[in-house]
Every structure is written in structure tokens, then in C-alpha cells.
Structure 1
Amino acid sequence: MNENSETQKLLHKFILNQCNLEESNEVVDYYRKNKLTTDFPTVEDIKILVDEIPEMDEATADKIFSKILISAKETESTAIETKKFPMFKYISVAASIIVLLSIGWSYQHGFFKQKNDLIINSNDITLQLANGDVQIISAGNKSQVTDSEGNIVANHNGNKIAYDTETPLEKLVYNTIKIPYGKRFELELSDGTIVHLNSGTTLKYPVRFIAGENRQVFLDGEAFFDVTKDKKHPFIVNADNLNIRVLGTHFNVSSYPEDNLTDVVLVEGSVGLYTANEKFDANKNTVLKPGYKGSFNKKDNHIETKPVITYVYTSWMEGRLTFKNMTFNDITKKLERRYNVTIVNQNKKLANEKFYASFGDEPIEKVLSYFNDVHGINYTIKNNEILIK
């Protein structure tokens, strides 16, 4: 083999694990000739022989990395066969390992990180399991949710996860789902309770509710609960410092960290409201009736109630935006969550203006156009940022 471009091409081919037996032997012969030794080449040896380390895309690297794992298993389970071609077996594995060098030091670390640590996009719906593992939930796919022992505890289909009522668990084990801005999702808990999750929401809940224990979940964001009736096991939603206790009913809870109030709107049944450090007492705590909203002030722990049109607070499940006597400042928060955008309002006078408006599943440009028509606001949109002057 001559030391020319053909040599380098063959060395590159060797690094990419594309050599056949004859070509691999040719590389070994070349190595021995240049190193004046009978030893087999090491990773560093081959690196020195290659003028330029070949580049490859991530897909190619993934395939070759898989070959490394397969080759390692084969080496372990076929020791007798390996004795027939010891040199080729050694070179085959060595060539595969050298792939890591071909993608550079920085990518090498990133490559292993992709294998061990999930790369999560800010737009991904994620499900954190009891053992800390995180799964990305794609609305267009189907998948299964398993526990630490590999038992199937739930099934994911499209925009919903349904938990198994027959899950063989005897202690409370929690999953946590996070919905990013711009998306909505639905859960069916192990007792049959349906939970609609709005954008920017996190819910922590048991994989299975345990007999003799309250059915308690933890909410950060907004959700509509259709709770399965069970008089023996009260259903409690913990929303920061507020507890919402029900036996079986339909209600909406909005408790975003950036909001001053936690709003609970009751559609059907009854709910009791009390602070997290209190014990529920139906005679002392606030009890809502259908058609009422309870607003919990996070600063002073005070609860106020008033009658409302419940649809205003639940229409988001249908993809609608409904504003009733709402300040523009609060409206921008809802728009940011709904459309996954950042809104910078430099019009301070506009911030406290109140509006009545309702929109369907429409692009944000149409929503802004409405405010431009009624108030003449001046705005610009660049990427995902909206500037209002």
C-alpha cells in the first residue's frame, strides 16, 4: 500500500468501521510497517496515522455506536470463534471505538450526554417518573409508561395519558407531567378522574391512589378536574398554599406562580377551600356552590367568593380565549402562555385598561389586530417576541 491519498482514504474508511476483512488486514500491515512492531494498533495509533479525522453526522455516529455495543456483546459471547480471527476481531472493535475520535472532543462529550441524559426542548411535554427518569411525550405518538420494575402503569395515545386502574402498587408513587407554553394535554388518573391541563402547567400525581389515603395531587398552573366520586377517599388539589377538597365534581383551578390570585371556579358539585396548614372543616372553611368563583389571595391568605359565568374560565379547553373585564396586563400573560411568545408592553397606560373579548383558535396576529382596532396599539412581531409601544 503506497503512502498517498488512497492510503488516507482507506484509513478513513477503517475509522468509520467500513473496512472488510481484507482491507482491515491491509491497514494492520501498514501500521506494522510504519511502527516497526507486531503489536495491534491502538486508538491513539490510528489517530496519529490519519492526517484529517473524518467528519460524520449524528445519525451515522448513532449507527456506528450501536455497532460498538453489538460488537462488544458478540466478543463476549463468541470467545471460541474469536480465536480463529483474533487480529480481525481486535481491529473491528478498535475501529468502532475510534469513531468517537472522528467527531471531535466536544462532540464526544455531547454524544455520550445524548445517550445518558435526555436532551429536552422547551417545547416538549415531559413526564418525570418515580425513579427520576424523564420521558418526552409526543402528541402524535403512542407509548407506554412503566414503573421502575418495568410494569406498564399507563398508556399514552396522542394528546392523552390514561393510567391503569389495576396497577399492582401498594404505596404512593408519583409521576410529574409538565406542559410547556403553547400546548394543552389530558390525563386520566387511576381512579378515572379526568384532568385537562392548560399550557405552562405542572401536575404531580400518584401513579395509583391507595386505599385508605386521600387522593391528593399537586398543581402549578391551570387545570380542569372532572373528579370521579368516591366518598371514602376525598380528592384534594394542592395549589401552592391552597387546598381544594372535593368528593366528586367538576371545577377549574388557575394557580400560576406569577399571578397574585389562585382562582377556583366550580361548575358542578361542591368544593371546600382551606390553606395548606389547616385541617378541613366544612363549618369553618369556605365552601363553593356551582357557578361561584373563589379567589385566594397569596399575600394575605384571604379568600373571596362571587358568582361568575363559568364558561369564561373553562373555554380554554375548547381552544378559546375569553376575557371579561380583564386588564391588558393580565391578558398579555394569557397570550404568552397560549402562544408561547414573550410580550413586552411599553405602553404603561394600556396596562390597566380592561377589555371584553373572545377569540377562537386563531393566530396571535388576529388577536393583536383586534386590540389595534379598538385601542390603536402600535406593535411589532419579531420571532417569538412582541413589542407594544
Structure 2
Amino acid sequence: MKTEQVKELLKRYNDGQASVKEADAVNDWVEQELEQTSWNKSEEDKVAFGIALKLKIDAQINLGSEKEASGTNSLKVTRFRMISAIAAAIAIVLLGTIVFWRMRNEDASRRYANDIAPGKNTAVLKLANGQKINLDERNGTLDTLNGIKIEKAANGVVVFTILDRNADASNQKNTIETPAGGQHQVVLADGTKVWLNAASSLTFPGEFGGQQKRIVSLTGEAYFEVTKDKTHPFLVETAKQEVEVLGTHFNINAYSNEDNIKTTLLEGSVQVSASGQHEVLSPNQQSVFRNNALQVSEIDPALAIDWKNGEFRFKDEPLESILRKLSRWYGVRFVSELDENNTPSFTGSVSRFDNISSVLTMLEETGNIRFFIKNKIITVK
């Protein structure tokens, strides 16, 4: 296509007089310009670059029209100059924005060069006979102890099943432990389902037998779906509190490096006891034990079990709390260079199974902070 034909086509496009075929020809030309640029662009970059290119075209058309009109109408000349200047200025701003985001993305790529994968289902099962089983390495039947079959099902869940009800395994303590960067699920002999979060452990008997209470011990965080048994309450012991239930769904967060213990009820009823204080929770309530005081409030339970549902969900959550969660799940250590008296809070959500860079990017986009990854140490500035 000759230069004059191109100019005429662009002018008709700009004036809104181009046919569908002519408009397609202009769009194809713009696409070719995008393909010929020397750096890779995101979809947002391409849209912005296309707009900038269109404005540049408009400016060139107006300048050409200015020359045509210069000998006949000075008012038109002034108008064309004004339009051209505005179009060119907007194009410069848009192109500058593209360059800024390009540099920012390149900076993030450099800082996240040592990206870290998310945690996974991994744990160690310590049986009452002293045997330690790495659950990553075993499938199917793991052992049979005192009438209790222990197996890792096809879905990865560890299941304790009573084979001989005359055998007594109530005094045989077993422990399942998840490392930083791990999580796991176990089904106890009474059918109770337990999901363990990262860096957590649960100690429980092979079966509850004739015990008056079904007692388990927890460190870290776990979500429970307790099988109903009105004659045998289910009791979860942590370092500083106890939670007693008959049959219900609830979450306990009792990490030693947190300054509180949170118990969140989703279904049924639980009694929380700590330092001589007792509170009965209703669904959608959470108790917080801090500084020897037990307090209850209404809460969106989805925020408490985000980890079980494969998410990180934050609502006005302090950065320090978020970093502790990330540290446990990704197995990393954070070093903060921020002012301890002026750290931000965040609201948002992101998949728990993305690389850590996805979470850090979300935090960077909502706050004036930057993260730098080096091996398993992440510096916050």
C-alpha cells in the first residue's frame, strides 16, 4: 500500500468513516507494530501501547491536515496544533506508564529469581511401638497394632480402623507431625476427621476404648470434624487451654509463636476453658485467649479455615501475622527492615498453592513494601 493510500486510510479511520474491511486493515497494521517492538509485553502493555499508537496516528493525521489547511484557515491551523499537542502528550504519558510497569516487572523478576514453591501433603507418623513412618514414602497398610489397622488411603489420608474391639489400644499414643511446608489429614478410630496445618502435631490413642473422654493433644493448628458421641465427650488439649465437644466442626490455632490461641466454631457447640475461665461458643463465634483473658466475638469462619480450603485470606491482618503464616507454609524465614511501630495491615486473598511470589506480589501491590528472596531468607523493606 502506498504512503498516500495509508494516510487516506488512517484519516478515514480517525474520522469514523472507514468500512469494516478498512478498520480491520488498520487494526492489523497496529498488531504488526506491536509484534515488531523489541521487548515482551503483557496484555495490559499491549492495550496501552495500542492506545498510545492510535493517539500518535491521530496526531500525525492532524499535523498532515494542518499543513493542508495552513494556507486557507488560520483558525483550523490553531485547532489542529492543539489537538496534535494533546494527543502527543497523552501518548507520551501512556508510553511512560508502559516503561514504568515494564521496569517494575523486571525489578520483581529479579527480586523473585529464587522463587519458592508452596507446601504440600507431608508428615511423619510416630506409632506407639516407636516406629516412625515418613508418609511421603509409604502407601496402603502401614501397620496393625493391638487390633488397630493403620493405613494410608488412596487419597493420601491416614486412617485408623478398629479390627478387634476386644483389644485395648487406648493407652497407645500415636503422633502425627507436619513440618514447616507440610499439611496432612488423619481419621481417628472413632471416625473423627482432623486436618493438620503446617508445623503442627496431634497426639492421640489408637482407639478411645472405655475412656470417659476422647482426649487428644494439639500443638500448632488443626481443623476438627468430630464424630458425635454424647456419652464420650471429645477433648482437645493445648498448652494453655482445653476445648470440649460432643460432636461438631471447629478450628484451633495454638502455635507457640503466636501471642494468642484462637478457637473458631463452624457447627455445633464447644466449651473453651483456660485459666479457670469457661466460654461456650455458638457457630460463627471465635474465642481468643490472650494475656490470661478469654474473649469471644463474632467472626466470618472462612477466615479461620482458609488454610484448609487452600487459600490465604486476610482481612485487616497485620503484616507480622501474615509473614508468620507464610513462614510456616513455605518453610522460609523473613527478615524485616520496616519500622516496628508503623507496619501495615492487609486485606485480600490468594491461592495457598501458588509460589510465594504470587503472595508477595499481592502484598506489594496493596502496600508500600518490597520483598527480596535469597535462598530461604526473604528480606522485607
Q: TM-score range by the shorter chain?
A: 0.5 to 0.7
- Name the structure 1 match of 2:225: 226
Q: Deviations over 1:68-119 (max 9, x none)?
A: xxxxxxxxxxxxxxxxxxxxxxxxxxxxxxxxxxxxxxxxxxxxxxxxxxxx
- Name the structure 1 match of 2:149: 153
The within-5 A match list for 1:280-319 is 285-297=278-290, 299-300=291-292, 302-319=293-310
- Residues 327 and 139 from structure 1, CA distance in 2 versus in 1: closer, same or farther, beyond 3 angstroms? farther
- Name the structure 1 match of 2:14: none
1:344 paired with 2:335, answer: yes
1:358 offset after TM fit, Å? 0.7
The amino acid that maps onto 1:291 is N
2-side partners of 1:215 and 1:162: how far apart? 17
1:166 offset after TM fit, Å? 3.1
Q: Deviations over 1:238-278 (max 9, x none)?
A: 01120000000000000000011110000000000113x76
**SS of equivalent residue, structure 1 residue 316:** coil
Q: Deviations over 1:286-313 (max 9, x none)?
A: 100101000112x42x100000000111
1:167 offset after TM fit, Å? 4.5
1:153 offset after TM fit, Å? 2.5
How many residue pairs get aligned? The number is 257
1:220 offset after TM fit, Å? 0.2
2-side partners of 1:139 and 1:225: how far apart? 26
**SS of equivalent residue, structure 1 residue 334:** helix
- Name the structure 1 match of 2:25: none
**SS of equivalent residue, structure 1 residue 358:** strand
The amino acid that maps onto 1:211 is G
For structure 1, which runs of at least 5 residues remain unmatched after alignment?
1-122, 279-283
The amino acid that maps onto 2:360 is L
1:152 offset after TM fit, Å? 5.2
- Name the structure 2 match of 1:323: 314
Q: Which protein is bigger by CA-based radius of gyration? A: 2
2-side partners of 1:139 and 1:199: how far apart? 19
**SS of equivalent residue, structure 2 residue 307:** helix
TM-score normalised to the size of structure 1?
A: 0.62
The root-mean-square deviation of aligned C-alpha atoms, in Å, is 2.0
CA contact (8 A) 2:122 2:182 kept: no
Q: Percent identity?
A: 31
Name the structure, 1 or 2, with higher relative contact order (CA <8 Å, separation 6+): 2
1:204 offset after TM fit, Å? 0.3
**SS of equivalent residue, structure 2 residue 162:** coil
1-side partners of 2:280 and 2:194: how far apart? 21
- Name the structure 2 match of 1:32: none
**SS of equivalent residue, structure 1 residue 337:** helix
TM-score normalised to the size of structure 2?
A: 0.64
CA contact (8 A) 2:122 2:183 kept: no
1-side partners of 2:134 and 2:375: how far apart? 25
For structure 2, which runs of at least 5 residues remain unmatched after alignment?
1-120
2-side partners of 1:160 and 1:139: how far apart? 13
1:131 paired with 2:129, answer: yes
CA contact (8 A) 1:153 1:207 kept: no
The amino acid that maps onto 2:278 is N
